[in-house]
Amino acid sequence: MRESAAASAMTGYPAARPELVREDSSGEAITVVEKPLSPFEICYNSGWLRKATILVILAVVWELYARYLNNDLLFPTFTATISAFAQNVADGVLPARAWASIKVLLIGYSLGVLLAAVLTALAIASRIGTDFLETMTSMFNPLPAIALLPLALIWFGLGNGSLVFVLVHSVTWAIALNTHSGFCSVSKTLKMVGKNYGLGGPRFIWQILIPAAFPSILTGLKIGWAFAWRTLIAAELVFGVSSGSGGLGWFIFENKNMLDIPNVFAGLLTVILIGLVVENLIFQTVERRTIQRWGMQN
Amino acid sequence: MASEGPLLEVAGVTLQYKTPQHLITATYRVDFEVFTGDRFILLGPSGCGKSTLQKAVGGYMTPTEGQIRLKGKVVTRPGPDRMMVFQEFDQLLPWKTVRQNVVFALEASGRLTGKAADDKAMHYIEKVNLGAFADSYPHMLSGGMKQRVAIARGMAMEPDILLMDEPFAALDALTRRKMQDELLMLWEETRFTVLFVTHSIPEAIKIGNRILLLSPHPGRVKAELNSVDDPQEARLLEQRIHNMLFSDEVGETMEPVHA
């Protein structure tokens, strides 16, 4: 071996070696071809279990810290928060407040989605529409919706009208921006395929562009949802009651004034829970059924 | 059929497009005629405008000079009578299964609906041997399988002419050879008309019955040749085409041959 290597180094050619042909041998005799994973690995592979573990750990840390602090006015324990939450749910206060918030939210969100759809449709249809959308988003997207609330209160009065107005503002630009950039990044080939079928106008947008840009559209819808939720709670906190009953933000504000801090935490917990439910149930289901199944996201 | 005259006439077609800096002439006064049942090849080095020419036949570009006529009618825009098969693997709609992709093409273009569309789709999916994958999404398929679906889709539409733009160029060599054989078998069965773009001389000779040679910058017709079946003659033809395409360049841009 060494001699031939030395010889090859001298001549510059690789060493001559005999050929090798293996008879077909089944792999099972030599190594594991298929083996079930251990229970731990199976558990670790399920996403909801991993997330649930994180939540449990957070709750435990919360409980321990609050007990160590021992000050219900600053930082109530997890158990105190949960019992306040349970009591408020039981006597129907929290569900009513949450529903009041969600109702306004849904109205504002749907109007925002509609407006975004119109704006992006215009943007695809013409160059001036594109310019309009780009200018509007660059002007208004960075403008916090809450900053418009004082104006809205003057225009629409103390009521749901002004809340809906700021919600529409917070939702529209994020969705329009994402949808438009999604449309722009649809592959040229797919567009040509659609044209090849003789599709044009609204059918082209609906049957080719929207599904092809769906990952971006979904991102836009998620961001819009988060913006809307934030804006709504903030608006209720700052300007309080809207048309009688008041929503979650008002619930938090009220209880802070009464120094009922466990209730404040229960209100915050409700906001978080609704966010978790919408993200993990609604948006993730949509994601799984669409872009994950289509292989647009892994 | 042939006595009816050409199916596709490309007469004196000059194609130009603009980049931000330049006006580029892709082809200059190109003439050719495709007859029903032809496997017509556009062959040439890159920059000869063969893909641009096919896009114009597809209706995605308007000639600045000359005319493209399909069955005597001037081509003005894309339409399902000229189905394209692209090189890119992303030409299938990712949100539809194999079967839905073919059915959607039939339904969107208004050719067929409902059960009839479904039957026709399955017929052609079986033809390209993908019956077992009819309900898979495109991202689960290999590159070769995706191209087969695109071919099935193109054939299911039963267009006047199938436009194939280097459909096998992005495939590995083994798959490419298999796909070429399959395409020829499909042609034996259904005798469709195809306009096929390629830059590979062997592929042109294997697939085509008539080969249009284009020279680059701008694309002009250099020759229109008949292909041959006999391997010996094919080798000679290959050499001849090679000489025609590269004769002017020997000495200036000829790249060294890799062993």
B68 with B95, same domain: the answer is no
B58 with B186, same domain: the answer is yes
Q: Is B5 in a helix, a strand, or coil?
A: coil
Residue ranges making up the domain that contains B230: 1-81+162-250
B59 with B130, same domain: the answer is no
pLDDT tens-digit map of B15-29: 888 888 888 888 888
pLDDT tops 90 at residue A110 = yes
Min Cα separation A183/chain B (Å): 15
- Binned at pLDDT 50, 70 and 90, residue B1 comes out as very low
Distance CA B34, CA B162 (A): 12
Min Cα separation A227/chain B (Å): 29
pLDDT tens-digit map of A227-251: 998 888 888 877 665 555 678 888 8
- Is B7 part of a structural domain of the chain? yes
Inter-chain residue contact A190 with B79, CB threshold 8 Å: no
Interface test with B, best of A196, A207, A288, A290 (most B CBs within 10 A): A196
Inter-chain residue contact A195 with B60, CB threshold 8 Å: yes
- Strand pairing partners for B226? B210
B36 with B140, same domain: the answer is no
- Is B256 part of a structural domain of the chain? no
End residue of a domain, out of B158, B191, B215: B158
B128 with B176, same domain: the answer is no
Question: What's the confidence (pLDDT) of residue B254?
Answer: 45
B60 with B5, same domain: the answer is yes
Q: What is the mean pLDDT of chain A?
A: 85
B77 with B172, same domain: the answer is yes
Q: What is the domain-level CATH number for residue B32?
A: 3.40.50.300
Determine contact, residues B147/B168, Cβ cutoff 8 Å: yes
Q: Hey, what are A58's tokens?
A: 């957070």
For chain A, the structural domain boundaries read 92-292
Residues of B in contact with A212 (CB under 8 A): 93-95
Within 10 angstroms of residue B170's Cβ, the number of other Cβ atoms is 16
Among the partner-chain residues B60, B80, B105, the one whose CB lies closest to the CB of A192 is B60
Inter-chain residue contact B95 with A294, CB threshold 8 Å: yes
Percent of all residues in chain B with a pLDDT value above 90, rounded to a whole number: 5
Inter-chain residue contact B108 with A189, CB threshold 8 Å: no
B56 with B104, same domain: the answer is no
End residue of a domain, out of B130, B158, B186: B158
A92-292: CATH superfamily = MetI-like (1.10.3720.10)
Question: What's the confidence (pLDDT) of residue B249?
Answer: 56
Question: What's the confidence (pLDDT) of residue A9?
Answer: 59
Q: Is B65 in a helix, a strand, or coil?
A: strand
Question: What's the confidence (pLDDT) of residue A16?
Answer: 85
- Is B142 part of a structural domain of the chain? yes
Strands (E), chain B: 8-18, 23-34, 39-43, 65-70, 73-74, 82-85, 161-165, 194-198, 210-215, 220-226
End residue of a domain, out of B113, B143, B158: B158
B166 with B148, same domain: the answer is no
- Binned at pLDDT 50, 70 and 90, residue A168 comes out as very high
Residues 6+ apart with CB under 8 A from A204: A194, A195
- Binned at pLDDT 50, 70 and 90, residue A221 comes out as very high
- Is B255 part of a structural domain of the chain? no
- Is B258 part of a structural domain of the chain? no
B119 burial via Cβ count (<10 Å: 0-12, 13-18, 19+): exposed
Inter-chain residue contact A197 with B80, CB threshold 8 Å: yes
Residues of B (38-77) whose Cβ lies below 8 Å from A: 58, 60, 77
DSSP state of A87: H
Min Cα separation B228/chain A (Å): 33
Inter-chain residue contact A189 with B86, CB threshold 8 Å: yes
pLDDT tens-digit map of A192-218: 999 888 888 888 888 898 999 999 999
Mean pLDDT confidence for B163-173: 87
- Is B73 part of a structural domain of the chain? yes
Q: How many domains does chain B have?
A: 2
Q: Is A113 in a helix, a strand, or coil?
A: helix
- Binned at pLDDT 50, 70 and 90, residue A61 comes out as very high
Question: What's the confidence (pLDDT) of residue A239?
Answer: 67
A57-71, A97-111, A126-140, B171-185: least confident range: B171-185
